[in-house]
Amino acid sequence: MQYALMIYTDPGYLDTLPDSERSAAQVEYRALADDDRCIGSAQLQPAETATSVRVVGGRTLMTDGPFADTKEVLGGLYLIEAANLDEAIELAARIPAARHGGTVEVRPVVQP
C-alpha cells in the first residue's frame, strides 16, 4: 500500500540546528529518499512562495501564500510503499523533523 508522509515544520527549522546536527539530518533525509520503499520525495519551497487557488461562482480566485496561516507549514513529503501502517509509521519516525519539533502526517494514498 502507498502512503504519503507529509512533513510539517517551523519554517527554516534546519537553519536553527548546529552544523553537525543539520548535516546529520540532511544525510537522514537522503537515506530515506534512497530507501527502496520510497517512490518519490520532494522538499518544497518556502510557504511564502505558495499561491492558493479557489474557484467560486465560476471565477478563479488566487491568494498569495499557503491555504492556512499556521505556525508549522508543509515543508516536504515522501511517497512510500509499505506493507501496512506500522511500517509506514516506522519510516515516518526516521524523518528528522519528527524529532526536531515537527510533525509527520502519515496518510494512505487512494489507489486507482
So where are the chain's domains? 2-108
Residue 12 pLDDT: 85
CATH no. for 2-108: 3.30.70.1060
Mean local confidence (pLDDT), 46-53: 89
CA 16 – CA 90 distance, rounded (Å): 26
**pLDDT tens digits, one per residue of 90-100:** 999 999 999 99
Q: What is the DSSP string of 58-91?
A: TEEEEEES-SS--SSEEEEEEEEE-SSHHHHHHH
Query: SS3 for 30?
Result: helix
pTM over 0.85, yes/no: yes
List, in sequence order, every residue forming a beta bridge with 30; answer none if it has no partner.
none
Please identify which residue in the block is written with the cell numbers 527502496: 36
Tell me phi and psi for residue 95, to 5 degrees: -75, 120
